[in-house]
Amino acid sequence: MIRVAAVDCGTNSIRLLVADPARDGAGLTDLHREMLVVRLGQGVDATGRFADEAIERTRAALSGYAATMRELGVERVDMVATSATRDAANRDDFFAMTAELLGTVVPGAVARVITGDEEARLSFRGAVGDLDPASGPFAVTDLGGGSTELVVGDVGGVIAAYSADVGCVRTTERCLRGDPLSEQEIADAQEFIGERLAPAFAAVDVSSVRTWVGVAGTMTTLAALVAGLDEYDPAKIHLSRATLADLHRVCWDIVAMPRAQRAALGVMHPGRVDVIGAGALVTDALAEQMRRRAGITDIVVSEHDILDGIALNLLDAP
């Protein structure tokens, strides 16, 4: 039995999964999951560079993760960096920092930046592992801080994938600064989101999809609100379903709320308060496309995503 650790460093958050192979040989047995909001992508869309303070926040979080991995006896580790790191001119500074810390867990371990296509494929593998293959083909959308992955596949694997340069942090920094948001800001954001999602749906045919799966923090937070939870409970959210009508209602409730009201919601992570409005607008746009193009009437929300895909790939390695 090989104990593995997956680290996903996105535009908004950095997450850790430590897992063993499942006893039945299929899937994972979780030992530790953790998420911290570090906003690595702060200002990257405008400047093309990581801010010094963003790298330091990420260093502090990864230092704690490395200590956890050492304590749990991790034997293999893979850390992937996504949208913000693909865009940052000074990413070598980031990789030097991550190599220093990961090397204390497994000598020679380094982080790596992955393409949008690989991100999509890893997200798909993680997201559909607990679903009945007969309910496919699946469309998986991974809505992150800087990018949104659209993937279609079935029991045989990925059929088509596209990574769109639109996410909750990127959209917020481009369009949404008011509190509460103004009608003009919302309209500008919808236009930006539509422009960025259009090539994704042109490249990925969703017409045969039977099940839409949403992953990542925006989707799980919205699912918790649809379910009426007073506090965030991953077990209740994982594989929960929401009608598109309920999803639309919750999305627009969030968009209309001032930040203080969002922050008071029991299921809301503090690091998501200022970007969840943009995430809700992206989600609503995705839902409309899935309804119109595939006749989808509801969404399945999964707590398993790219982290699980990374960990499963580590177990497959020779």
Residues 6+ apart with CB under 8 A from 173: 43, 45, 46
- Residue intervals of the chain classified under CATH 3.30.420.150 are 132-301
Radius of gyration of the chain (CA): 18
What confidence score (pLDDT) does residue 27 get? Answer: 84
Q: Say how many Å lie between the first and final Cα of the chain, rounded.
A: 13
73 pLDDT higher than 90: yes
Supply the pTM of this predicted model: 0.88
Of 22-26, 30-34, 260-264, minimum mean pLDDT range: 22-26
Range 252-272 average pLDDT: 95
What confidence score (pLDDT) does residue 317 get? Answer: 80
How confident is residue 25, by pLDDT bands cut at 50, 70 and 90? low
Phi, psi of 27 (to 5 degrees): 95, -160
Fold of 132-301: Nucleotidyltransferase; domain 5 (3.30.420)
Range 16-35 average pLDDT: 89
Q: Does domain 4-113 have CATH number 3.30.420.40?
A: yes
Strand partners, 111: 79
Per-residue exposure over 271-298, b if at least 16 CB sit within 10 Å of its own CB, e if not = bbbbbbbbbbbbbbbbbebbbeebebeb
What confidence score (pLDDT) does residue 49 get? Answer: 87
Answer yes or no: are the C-beta atoms of 287 and 248 closer than 8 Å.
Answer: yes
- Residue intervals of the chain classified under CATH 3.30.420.40 are 4-113
